[in-house]
Structure 1
């Protein structure tokens, strides 16, 4: 069982969208998925992509993905990577695919002189938290994530 990681290509759009839906179902958030496969393909593979994806494969078959983008730390004065989604299909968990995806992002950070790799995890997702703890990922408990969407976002935009 060999796990490899490669950058996604346009032919992966359907697989990636399937992974997104599977992740949303696992997180009990499938009802919140508004994106379409076409949206995703445009953002990942359009003229000026600002979203990126790596695919983990086991013996050539896709088993997981990491969707990420560059962020910036004003305090560190350097870019970093924000991991938006990490998902490995249940039947491939434990073979090293998640770790391989994170390793590939860490290697990108090192190669490009980036300051950090960060992500969020749901409070109830104990298996993921244990996995991240095992990698040495520090919890940022002093920060609280805030978000504006939908009506609140429109209201602020309109003044």
Structure 2
């Protein structure tokens, strides 16, 4: 089995990061929601005020997956947490350990940065991922429901 290498993404990786995002959206049946471009992604990730960080997994020297994450904050714990926004491994590399290597890398970052938790969301129908996360010791937060404001509802609440 080839070694999996994890590296921090850079501005030069924006095209591959966007391709991973589009592949993930297709897998999640959400391609119609992707409006990110190389320009917007580059500015958000590598501009003057980066909004998130990215790590990339390579297998045999070929980029096969990524994880995009940022910090949130727990008032109950009084410390930051690490939130995984997206994790994706290309189908041909699944089962080779890239997903686990990405999560392990992020767990190390969370511990090094003294984060109180490491969290993410998963679609209810994505049973393979749910089982994978549970095998790592992650627990579903069944008592919580995610709410979202976007588009017209967000604008209306903002009073615009």
Gaps of 5+ in 2: none
Task: State yes or no: 1:84 paired with 2:85.
Answer: yes
Q: Structure 2 CA distance, aligned partners of 1:35 and 1:13? A: 11
Q: Write out aligned runs for 1:135-146 (5 A).
A: 135-146=136-147
**Can you list the C-alpha shifts for 1:36-57, whole angstroms capped at 9, x where unaligned?**
1111111111112121100000
Q: Structure 2 CA distance, aligned partners of 1:131 and 1:38? A: 33
Task: State yes or no: 1:64 paired with 2:35.
Answer: no
Pairwise CA distance, 1:119:
0.3
Q: Structure 2 CA distance, aligned partners of 1:66 and 1:112? A: 17
Q: Write out aligned runs for 1:22-37 (5 A).
A: 22-37=23-38
Q: How high is the TM-score relative to the length of structure 1?
A: 0.98
Q: Write out aligned runs for 1:1-159 (5 A).
A: 1-158=2-159
Pairwise CA distance, 1:58:
0.5
**Can you list the C-alpha shifts for 1:71-126, whole angstroms capped at 9, x where unaligned?**
00000011011100000000000000000100011001111111111000000001
Number of residue equivalences: 159
Q: How high is the TM-score relative to the length of structure 2?
A: 0.97
Pairwise CA distance, 1:34:
1.1
